[in-house]
Amino acid sequence: MFQAVRHLIRKEFIQTFRDKRMIIPLFIAPVIQLIFFGLAVTTDIKNISVAVLDLDRTLQSRKLISAIEASPSFDLNHHAADYDRIDELILRGKIQAAIIIPQDYEKDIKRNIQTQIQLIADGTDANTATIIMGYIGQLVAVQSENVLADLRQIGIGGIMMPEPRIWYNPELKSSVYMVPGVICLVLLLTTLIFTSMAITKEREVGTIEQLIVSPIKSWQLMLGKTIPFCLIGLCDVALVLLAGKLIFSLPTKGSILFLFLVALVFIVTSLSLGLLVSTISRTQQQAMMTSFFIIMPAMMLSGIFSPIDSMPRFIQYITYLNPLRYFSTALRGILLKGNDLAVLWPEILVLLLFGISFFIISSVRFRKYLE
Amino acid sequence: MPLKDKEQKITQNIYSVSVENLTKRFGRFTAVNNISFKVRQGEIFGFLGPNGAGKSTTIRILCGIQKPTSGQARIGSFDVGTQSEDIKRIIGYMSQKFTLYPDLTVEENISFYGGIHLLSRESLITRRKPVLKLSGLTGKEQTKARDLSGGWKQRLSLACAILHEPQILFLDEPTASVDPSARRDFWDLIYLLSAKGTTVFVTSHYMDEVERAHRLAILFEGRIITIGSPAELKKRHTGSMDASLEDVFITAVEEQRSLPSQQEGAP
Amino acid sequence: MRNRILSLIRKETLHIFRDPRSLYLAVGLPVLMVILFGLGITFDVNNVRIGIIDLDNSPLSRDLAFRLHASSYFDISSHETVYRGMDQLLDEGKVKIVMVIPPQFSRSLNSGRDVKLQLLTDGSDSNTAQIAQGYLLSLIQIFSVDELSEELNRLGLLATAGIPPIQLESRIWYNPDLRSSTFIVPGLIAVVMMILAAMLTSLTIAREWENGTMEQLIASPIKPIEVIIGKLIPYYILGLLQTSLVIGVGILLFGIPFKGSLLLLFLASSLFLICSSGIGIYISAATRSQQLSFMLSVILTMLPAFILSGFIFPISSMPRVIQGLTYLVPARYFLTALRGIFLKGTGLSVLWPQVLFLILFAVGIMTACTRKMTMRLD
């Protein structure tokens, strides 16, 4: 009974790897994607180019300038002479912000008159502009505090000193965040796109007729077509994890076995989707584009690239329908926090539900499609 | 040189196709092994042999779409290795499998290939009717190519191959999925074209129909094992004029096998 | 020559229209992507879930909590007065930051002693972590200054209370509302165009090789450059259509401004389309396999478009080597041009380097394609 399946699996492997170049997108590309996402995607904001226009040139103003220079977030490489220069620098995109220290800065501080630091930021990149405002705001607040602290005497005016610590990813490496994302992307690409294309190719070329008239049952054909890509997908997960560990020292706090089990549950869903796509596509081009049409929203609305919390409310509700959301949460939880079933059971449950329902739908449709 | 002069060069050359020691290797497999032959202008030349003998590969080399590993071949005075662009202008090619556009109609396919071969709008209009008539496709102009049955697909391929009135026609297994009566019609067509001066180079594994060629070569495992007119071949290998080409083939192969083993590439 | 190219264009257009599903997807995908990305990718950090462990429970500590509550950046998900393991709260994923207000908080401050506030941030998403932490630090800092000035004022050491000595006044240029979408949408246009153009063109030549029609084509006198132009033009027109749709959605749905020259936009877009299509055609000609072609084009265009173009992740933050790589990516230059044209109204005088690169790349890739398209089977 399973012999037919075994043969089908073997045929699929032979066909897929007949063209040895297929190794590139199937095995090498995931690792390359990981490397790029991990290295290039540094969302740590560093070296923001800024300019200072110091109209005061006093000890006090230089204190502020030193604070800016000392900050790793900023690259103070322009000391502007006048407003026009600042205009030009921003227009040409050479700086993202300019800090202007007014003329009587030190004098006003000594006289306890409120003085103002002006910040001009290029709002094109709203994200960075917000961060700049936050950081400069903090620097200015610290200067304020220092001014006040000079006024206090023993026994009055304590200062609050926040002691921040980062948990799970103390070096704030974005690679840590990205790896689960890359795993998801790679799995989706492999299992969804390749499965749908493989079946559609047979239809395009005509060899599927041969299979239909043979005594092979639809479930055997289904397994024969999906198991190879399931295996390749799991292989990719292992590759990405290994590369992550070796190149980025990816933490693996939780149980790897558990991770693979979760991946397996997710793969059932994506494979089923692949089958579904193949039943509605006549050509490989259609299969590819339809798969892409599914993958795009799945990736964007999953919390992989940008946090769900920051999305508009109604979009957040939509993400509840996205199996990728639960899968990425589970992946992150296992890898970075060491979560186990006790914590992740809601996500696993939802994934199981998705997997089973998609599987049933696609099997029914596939059987109809073969007839 | 303008095309006209080049065309004259062809007709001056009595041999449309001349092949010398042509060899094609794919890795370790030798598909075409040191073959040599010549085809006269206006001749119907048959290339006979079982599947895998090297017929299609030879045709592809002669059409200029595959590079030979060694040896020489000329179409007219043009060398297939270095002047393939010139060759493509004067030949028509019909492939073994269906290589036209399935989602385009008969009409659209013909218009397209006409345009590709630089037929002006006037000549396309002039050629369209006779080509359709010749290939029997009148009435089927609006049918999508994929909706045609096997035999009709072949006719469409032929129509597109003769659209630009090529000097030499290369037909690779043109009657593969065609019924016997249609095959006869096809060969009548080939005779017609030959009478008009077109050289026709045909490959086939149907021994009976290649009888109608002027001359033929039998290919086996990449080598030409015998060459001549059907009558000559029958006399040479079977001694009887009543023999079929199949008998000729079997005898010729046996003779080949009984020869001392030949080295690859040796003449 | 023109005749051949026209025949090819006509044929290619027929192909496109005879496959309505792909056509709908070709039109629907860009619109879908713009809407999704525009809504889905917001790096505005809002509603960060924060947990407060208040072991002091004084009016002052409650004041601080209230400040956080009032801020739109934070959502107080958990407010406890008993100690719990901070890391445990983060493990459970219910909050992203935990702040502990120690016992004797209020009393210590009033006696002039400095007090430490412990913050623990979930670093998994390093971007949000940094931003959220930055907000929190800023908030606490300002609260501290306010309290200090109140106290000093109460004690007569400071003339007025509640006014920090140094105030920061911010002015934002080009995008005063600081909407993420303003930043993202022009980038989106580039990303969407790049991926789709390459994807579609990558299939077209490979498909002809796979189903044999290329064999017939190369047996004819057609030249490689004619094939390429014949394929390029219909997809270029399709690309322009997609681009207009994307820009339309961007302006209508997200209200991004358009301050620059339409002509320059057309020029830059055309060049970029040629570059992206060229990449697809090259891959198609090189691999001659639809599966491989598609996968390679997705990987080779998605990666540069998303990561190396400056679309979301700032190039200046990347390691030097990778920064160097970005100089080879056409999307980077197109993005700069787009942002300039849409948001700043800059013209050719400023953007000429970008346009120059695009021209060079387009010419280069087209030459490479012509070389790659050998009119032979091997």
User: C14 in contact with A at a CB cutoff of 8 Å?
Assistant: no
Specify whether the CB–CB gap between C342 and C190 falls below 8 A: no
| Residues near A179 by beta carbon (within 8 Å), at least 6 away in sequence | A34, A37, A38, A240, A241, A244, A248, A250, A335
Neighbours of chain A (3+ CB pairs under 8 A): C
Contact residues, chain B, for C9 at CB < 8 Å: none
Minimal CA separation from C17 to chain B, in Å: 10
**What interface predicted TM-score (ipTM) does this complex get?**
0.81
- Entry pTM: 0.81
Residue B261 is predicted with a pLDDT of 60
User: B122 in contact with C at a CB cutoff of 8 Å?
Assistant: no
Contact residues, chain B, for C23 at CB < 8 Å: none
Helix/strand/coil (H, E, C) string of A205-271?
Answer: HCHHHHHHHCCCCHHHHHHHHHHHHHHHHHHHHHHHHHHHHHHHCCCCCCCHHHHHHHHHHHHHHHH
Q: Give, as one character, the DSSP assignment of residue B262.
A: P
Residue B264 is predicted with a pLDDT of 47
Q: Give, as one character, the DSSP assignment of residue B105.
A: B
Contact residues, chain C, for A29 at CB < 8 Å: 295, 299
First-residue to last-residue Cα distance in chain C: 25
Is pLDDT at B8 greater than 50 in this prediction?
A: no
Q: Give, as one character, the DSSP assignment of residue C45.
A: -
Specify whether the CB–CB gap between C154 and C110 falls below 8 A: no
Residue B101 is predicted with a pLDDT of 92
Minimal CA separation from A185 to chain C, in Å: 11
User: Which of B99, B111, B119, B124 is the best residue to mutate to test the C interface, defined by the most C CB atoms within 10 Å of its own CB?
Assistant: B99
Is pLDDT at C360 greater than 90 in this prediction?
A: yes
Cβ contact, residue pair B99, C215, below 8 Å:
yes
CATH, range C48-154 = 3.40.1710.10
Size of interface B-C (CB pairs under 8 A): 86
Query: Which residue ranges of chain A lie beneath pLDDT 70?
Result: 41-45, 153-157, 172, 371
pLDDT band, residue B2 (cuts 50/70/90): very low
User: C18 in contact with A at a CB cutoff of 8 Å?
Assistant: no
Cβ contact, residue pair A158, C114, below 8 Å:
yes
Nearest to B88 among C3, C10, C220 (CB): C220
Cβ contact, residue pair C14, B116, below 8 Å:
no
Nearest to B63 among C8, C18, C219 (CB): C219
Q: Give CA angle at C295 (C305, A224), nearest 5°.
A: 145
For every residue of C153-189, DSSP letters joined together read HHTTSSSSSS--SEEEEEEEES-TT--HHHHHHHHHH
Cβ contact, residue pair C167, A332, below 8 Å:
no
User: C9 in contact with B at a CB cutoff of 8 Å?
Assistant: no
Backbone angles phi, psi at C312, to 5 degrees: -120, -45
Q: In order of start, what are the domains of chain A with their CATH numbers?
A: 2-41+174-370 (no CATH), 48-151 (3.40.1710.10)
User: By CB neighbour count within 10 A (0-12 exposed, 13-18 middle, 19+ buried), where does C195 fall?
Assistant: buried
Minimal CA separation from C307 to chain B, in Å: 39
Nearest to B118 among C4, C213, C377 (CB): C4
User: Which of C5, C7, C16 is the best residue to mutate to test the B interface, defined by the most B CB atoms within 10 Å of its own CB?
Assistant: C7
Q: How far apart are CA A284 and CA A204, in angstroms?
A: 7
Residue B266 is predicted with a pLDDT of 44
Is pLDDT at B267 greater than 70 in this prediction?
A: no
User: C82 in contact with A at a CB cutoff of 8 Å?
Assistant: no
Cα separations in angstroms, C27 against A4, A164, A283, C200, C305: 42, 48, 18, 12, 19
Is pLDDT at C316 greater than 80 in this prediction?
A: no
User: B146 in contact with C at a CB cutoff of 8 Å?
Assistant: no
Radius of gyration of chain C from its Cα atoms, rounded to whole angstroms: 28
User: C129 in contact with B at a CB cutoff of 8 Å?
Assistant: no
- The pair of structure tokens assigned to B168 is 């030499």
Domain range list for chain C: 2-41+178-372, 48-154
Minimal CA separation from C209 to chain B, in Å: 10
Residue C162 is predicted with a pLDDT of 66
Q: Which residue has the higher pLDDT, A351 or C33?
A: A351
Specify whether the CB–CB gap between B48 and B249 falls below 8 A: yes
Contact residues, chain C, for A284 at CB < 8 Å: 203, 207, 290-291, 294
Q: Write the pLDDT tens digit of every residue in C230-281.
A: 999 999 999 999 999 989 988 888 888 888 899 999 999 999 999 999 999 9
Q: In order of start, what are the domains of chain B with their CATH numbers?
A: 15-258 (3.40.50.300)
User: B106 in contact with C at a CB cutoff of 8 Å?
Assistant: no
Q: In chain C, which among 227-286 make CB contacts under 8 A with chain A? A: none
Nearest to B118 among C3, C11, C213 (CB): C3
Nearest to A169 among C124, C183, C295 (CB): C124
Residues in chain A: 371
Q: How far apart are CA C205 and CA B78, in angstroms?
A: 29
Residue B262 is predicted with a pLDDT of 52
Shortest CA distance from A161: residue in chain C: C116
Q: Write the pLDDT tens digit of every residue in B68-123.
A: 999 999 998 899 988 988 899 899 999 888 889 988 999 999 999 988 887 778 88
Give the pairing type, strands B44-48 and B215-220: parallel
